[in-house]
Structure 1
């Protein structure tokens, strides 16, 4: 099976716990159905999400996300084939920016816009290491 990974960022529109819960519920339901796994690092000013799974369903999921009005300024940060999943046990891991590398000021000053694909992948490698150091979900 050809696996693909997409990492994108966006800005939450009307961010609150109810909207975040809805996003996570939708993501977990659809991802479970479609064989997608991943992680969402989120804060009131930014979402950074990694999706991984069969290429066709990851592309379709990203298309649905791009049309979702709960966030704006969706920007693909990295995309490509992968050999193995990083978050294979998670329909959608939620990290409330505890593993985040950039401050609110950094994001406001465009740090994410200057970040390379390797920089955003490093955020998820850090998160993966933290998850692997804790018990199963």
Structure 2
């Protein structure tokens, strides 16, 4: 099974980044393709882990690269894993006015079963983005 982690920036003016719409489409695609993982979105950045069959994960990242809402996509890690680290696919989205500590705690809970490096990536990213 392939696990891929990437970060990207939201392209200004490229269209809606409504988290509910992203979540609905992503859940349907990921269920169809047996992909799990986690998506962090805060309105300015995306950080996502995708895990599943290699061909399906690579097709998903190709769709993301073609999505005009994403720019500056950087693959942070790509590795083979024996078992899923995230279970069901989840999305963590920071909403304006949300308590930063609560949001960071939610990220930590969702990434609790990930490898130490992947968990640190999500937790560190949430911490760094707290003031953004």
Query: Who is 2:50 aligned against?
Result: 51
When the two structures are superposed, what TM-score results if normalisation uses the length of structure 1?
A: 0.66
When the two structures are superposed, what TM-score results if normalisation uses the length of structure 2?
A: 0.68
**Change over 3 Å in CA distance of 1:69–1:18 after alignment to 2:** closer
Partner Cα distance (1:49, 1:39) in 2:
6
Query: Who is 1:20 aligned against?
Result: 19
Deviation at 1:120, TM superposition (A): 4.6
- After the TM superposition, which residues 92-103 of structure 1 pair with which residues of structure 2 at under 5 Å, given as runs? 92-96=89-93, 98-99=103-104
Structure 2, gaps ≥5 residues long: 95-102, 109-115, 124-132
How many residues get paired?
Answer: 105
Partner Cα distance (1:40, 1:18) in 2:
13
Q: What CA deviation, in whole Å up to 9, does each residue of 1:71-123 have, x standing for no partner?
A: 211111110101111122x2x3011252369xxxxxxxxxxxxxxxx755423
SS at match of 1:69: coil
